């Protein structure tokens, strides 16, 4: 839009000057009038917005809700696409596959009950999975937590019957001086690509839940096709290194980073953009909101994603159909080519018409037809993006 505005300004100055000079040197006011008729940069002004609106219409049919008009322009400049794992590359509906108690004083049922209590008010897909799993094995709902505190990138902290409960990753436990020596029992689940939620109650590690998520059926093919558009896919996840490596190998992603806190994702995006590589971030959870906002373009999963993530993003994938992402990348690049062709055509037509008007070849009537023909061409050319 800025490019079109700058050119439109200069065309107005050039056309007015040409009209005045032509009248001064030829004395034929009809030529000056013809210049004023043909110079109006309608085609130039229409070149960008018509292409953007057509591209947004195309994106909408493929399940994308574009919140900002220039989002597709920025997406065309992206060289790296950063993915969150849970809820983005996976279905976001993990299931509890193991409940392991590491304390003689805490039974498996009590452990599951406490984790469900801690996750009751969480919006994270893992928290929802815990509640679903608990509901399948218990007729009673989990108890209401007191003093619920969400700790982005780490887990949750609640109080239940006067007891402080921590549910999350090992970083959360270590920050609260919890002895994590027994946590090695979760190793075999981590090697299988599971995500583990550790529970600490009363200042001690009580056990953990292992959850396994299902990779989206079209995720691997999407990564291949996204790479064909010229972008580099990157996986940033808060999961354990083994789980992250397992997922990256299945998807064919060569660049990945495990154990990422929200601030780690921000740092990665900032460093990439400082090095001249524009980044598109795709995520779904509250943890991803800062990164979605910081990225050159943020895309949120509209179905499984949290409201905060959707609000922070520039584009929302309404139906969570991740396989459409390569189409959006191709569309943004095609839109920018269309805009450049429209600008080149409109400027060429304007300058040619002005020259013909100066020489007296064009009269006002023919000039008006040429002027409108240029606008029609730009609109029709932009409309091709709808397909």
In this prediction, residues 83-90 reach a mean pLDDT of: 85
According to the model, what pLDDT value does residue 305 have? 56
Residue 147: which region, alpha, beta or left (left: phi > 0; alpha: psi -120 to 50)?
left
Cβ atoms 101, 108 nearer than 8 A: yes
Asked if domains 66-91+217-320 and 95-212 share a fold, the reply is no
Q: What is the mean pLDDT of the chain?
A: 86
pTM of the model as a whole: 0.72
Rounded distance between C-alpha atoms, residue 278 and residue 75, angstroms: 9
pLDDT more than 90, % of the chain: 40
pLDDT more than 70, % of the chain: 95
Q: Which residues contact 385 (CB under 8 A, 6 or more apart)?
A: 51, 54, 55, 57, 58, 331, 334, 335, 338
Q: Per the residue annotation, which of 84, 284, 314, 320 is the catalytic one?
A: 84
> Is the four-CA dihedral 53, 59, 63, 64 of positive or negative sign?
negative
List the strands of the sheet with 255-257, edge to edge. Answer: 64-66, 315-317, 297-301, 279-283, 80-83, 232-236, 255-257
Q: Is the pLDDT of residue 40 over 80?
A: no
Q: Which residues contact 92 (CB under 8 A, 6 or more apart)?
A: 86, 125, 213, 284, 301, 304, 320
Query: For the domain with range 95-212, which CATH number is right: 3.90.730.10, 3.40.1110.10, 3.90.940.20, 3.40.1190.20?
Result: 3.40.1110.10
Q: Is the pLDDT of residue 364 over 90?
A: no
Q: Which residues contact 41 (CB under 8 A, 6 or more apart)?
A: 7, 8, 11, 12, 346, 350
Q: Is the pLDDT of residue 2 over 70?
A: no
Q: Which residues contact 210 (CB under 8 A, 6 or more apart)?
A: 96, 97, 98, 99, 100, 186, 189, 194, 195, 196
User: Following DSSP, what letter does each residue of 355-384 receive, concatenated?
Assistant: HHHHTT---HHHHHHHHHHHHHHHHHHHHG
316 backbone dihedrals φ, ψ, rounded to 5°? -120, 130
Q: What is the pLDDT of residues 124-140, one digit of tens each?
A: 878 888 999 998 888 88
Local structure of 180: helix, strand or coil: coil
Cβ atoms 103, 206 nearer than 8 A: yes
In this prediction, residues 100-129 reach a mean pLDDT of: 90
Rounded distance between C-alpha atoms, residue 116 and residue 114, angstroms: 5
Local structure of 183: helix, strand or coil: helix
According to the model, what pLDDT value does residue 234 have? 95
Paired strand residues for 17? none
According to the model, what pLDDT value does residue 309 have? 73
According to the model, what pLDDT value does residue 8 have? 60
Can 84 be counted among the known catalytic residues?
yes
Q: Is the pLDDT of residue 16 over 90?
A: no
Q: In the 8-state DSSP scheme, what is residue 277?
A: -
Residue 92: which region, alpha, beta or left (left: phi > 0; alpha: psi -120 to 50)?
left
> Which residue ranges make up each domain of the chain?
2-50+334-386, 66-91+217-320, 95-212
Q: What is the pLDDT of residues 291-341, one digit of tens each?
A: 888 999 999 887 665 677 778 788 988 888 889 999 999 999 999 999 999
Q: Which of 348, 346, 327, 326 is nearest to 338 (CA)?
A: 346
Rounded distance between C-alpha atoms, residue 31 and residue 23, angstroms: 7
- Model confidence at 9, pLDDT cuts 50, 70, 90, reads low
Q: What is the pLDDT of residues 158-185, one digit of tens each?
A: 998 888 999 999 989 999 999 998 989 9
Domain 66-91+217-320 has CATH 2.40.37.10: no
Higher pLDDT, 350 or 62: 62
Rounded distance between C-alpha atoms, residue 199 and residue 53, angstroms: 50
Residue 236: which region, alpha, beta or left (left: phi > 0; alpha: psi -120 to 50)?
beta
Q: Is the pLDDT of residue 41 over 90?
A: no
> Is the four-CA dihedral 137, 141, 147, 151 of positive or negative sign?
positive
């Amino acid at each position: 839009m800025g490019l079109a505005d700058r050119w439109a300004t200069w065309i107005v100055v050039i056309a007015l000057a040409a009209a005045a000079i032509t009248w001064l040197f030829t004395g034929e006011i009809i030529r000056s009038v013809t210049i004023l008729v043909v110079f109006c940069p309608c085609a130039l002004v229409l070149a960008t917005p018509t292409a953007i609106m057509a591209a947004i219409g195309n994106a909408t049919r493929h399940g994308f809700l574009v919140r900002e008009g220039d989002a597709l322009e920025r997406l065309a400049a992206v060289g790296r696409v950063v993915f969150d794992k849970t809820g983005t590359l996976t279905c976001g509906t993990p299931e509890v596959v193991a409940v392991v108690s590491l304390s003689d004083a805490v039974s498996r049922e009590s452990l599951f009950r406490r984790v469900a209590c801690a996750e009751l008010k969480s919006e994270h897909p893992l928290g929802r999975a815990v509640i679903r799993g608990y509901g399948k094995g218990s007729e009673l709902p989990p108890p209401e937590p007191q003093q619920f505190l969400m700790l982005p990138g780490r887990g949750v902290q609640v109080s239940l019957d006067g007891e402080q409960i921590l549910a999350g990753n090992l970083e959360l436990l270590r920050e609260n001086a919890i002895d994590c020596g027994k946590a090695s029992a979760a190793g075999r689940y981590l090697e299988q690509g599971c995500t583990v939620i550790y529970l600490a109650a009363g200042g001690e590690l009580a056990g953990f839940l292992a959850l396994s998520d299902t990779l989206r059926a079209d995720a691997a093919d999407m990564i291949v096709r996204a790479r064909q558009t010229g972008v580099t896919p990157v996986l940033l996840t808060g999961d354990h290194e083994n789980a992250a490596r397992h997922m990256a190998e299945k998807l064919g992603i060569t660049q990945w980073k495990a154990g990422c806190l929200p601030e780690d994702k921000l740092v990665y995006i900032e460093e990439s953009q400082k090095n001249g590589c524009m980044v598109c971030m795709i995520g779904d959870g509250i943890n991803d909101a800062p990164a979605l906002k910081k990225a050159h373009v943020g895309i949120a999963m509209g179905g499984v994603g949290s409201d905060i993530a959707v609000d922070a993003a520039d584009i929302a994938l309404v139906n969570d159909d991740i396989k459409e992402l390569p189409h959006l990348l191709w569309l943004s690049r095609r839109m920018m080519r269309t805009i450049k062709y429209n600008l080149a055509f409109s400027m060429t037509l304007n300058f040619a018409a002005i020259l013909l008007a100066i020489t007296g070849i064009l009269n006002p009537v023919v000039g008006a037809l040429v002027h409108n023909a240029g606008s029609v061409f730009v609109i029709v050319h932009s409309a091709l993006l709808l397909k």
